[in-house]
Every structure is written in C-alpha cells, then in structure tokens.
C-alpha cells in the first residue's frame, strides 16, 4: 500500500530555515518523480519542486528558486526539502506527492509551516 508521511513542519521566524522530510512506503521513491506542492491559507495549490527518477533530475518553481534544495535518500526511501530565507507568504501546508503519468496519484497528509515572528 502506497503511503507518504511528511514531517518537520513548524513555526519559523522570517528569514529562517526549515527542513521537511517525506518518508514513503509501498514503493521506491527512486522509481518515480516526486514533488513538493504547497497550499497557502485561503489559496490554491502550488507546485514548488520535483526530484525525478534514477537520474535524479531536479527543478524548482520560480516563486521559490534559490531558496529551496530538494534531495532524496534512496536508502531511507525518503525525500527532503530544505527551505531558506523564509517569508510570511511561505506559510502553507506542504505536501509531498508521487507523479504517475503526469498527475499526482498519492499525497502525504501535509506538513504545516508557519513563518511568523
């Protein structure tokens, strides 16, 4: 059974950093493109980054480019998202999700990140 669990969310001050993790079970993350997607309060979904397949291709959305590092640990079957220079507008629920045929067929429960002084 496919399962994704995010961890690492919390309260961080503006300008601070935070690292989110996503642990997968039921499949190997190295076999799929895996993405991080966020949902800000009262706003819609926004894709922010992926790491993909055996080659480990990486891409970031322009909105957070330069402030994110995505990585994968195949031994732990997990991925991480390191976020830097956080701003109030980065406050959101952050989801990891698996890409199958171009759509996201499995999602974690989300990790809440609150950026506030």
Partner 1 sequence: SSELTQPPSVSVFPGQTARITCSGAILSTQYAYWYQQKAGQAPLLLIYQESERASGIPERFSGSSSGTTATLTIGGVQAEDEAHYYCQSGAVGGLYYVFGSGTQVTVL
Q: Which residues bind partner 1 (CB under 8 A)?
A: 35, 37, 44-47, 50, 59, 61, 95, 100-105, 107-110
Q: How far is the CB of 78 from partner 1 (least distance, A)?
A: 18
Q: How far is the CB of 15 from partner 1 (least distance, A)?
A: 26
Q: How many CB atoms lie within 10 A of CB 27?
A: 16
Q: Smaller CB distance to partner 1: residue 16 or 58?
A: 58
Q: How far is the CB of 13 from partner 1 (least distance, A)?
A: 27
Q: How far is the CB of 65 from partner 1 (least distance, A)?
A: 10
Q: How many CB atoms lie within 10 A of CB 4?
A: 23
Q: For 62-76, b where at least 16 C-beta lie within 10 A, e where not — what string?
A: eebeebbebebeeee
Q: Smaller CB distance to partner 1: residue 30 or 35?
A: 35
Q: Smaller CB distance to partner 1: residue 38 or 72?
A: 38
DSSP string, 72-98: EETTTTEEEEEE-S--GGG-EEEEEEE
């Amino acid at each position: 059974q496919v399962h994704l669990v995010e961890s690492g969310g919390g309260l961080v001050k503006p300008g601070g950093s935070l690292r989110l993790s996503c642990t997968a079970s039921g499949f190997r993350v190295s076999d799929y493109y895996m993405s991080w997607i966020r949902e800000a309060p009262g706003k819609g979904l926004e894709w922010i980054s992926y790491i993909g397949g055996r080659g480990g291709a990486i891409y970031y959305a322009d909105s957070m480019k330069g402030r994110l590092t995505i990585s994968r640990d195949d031994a732990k079957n997990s991925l991480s998202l390191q976020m830097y220079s956080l701003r109030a507008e980065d406050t959101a629920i952050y989801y990891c999700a698996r890409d199958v045929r171009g759509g996201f067929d499995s999602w974690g429960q989300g990790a809440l990140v609150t950026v506030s002084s």
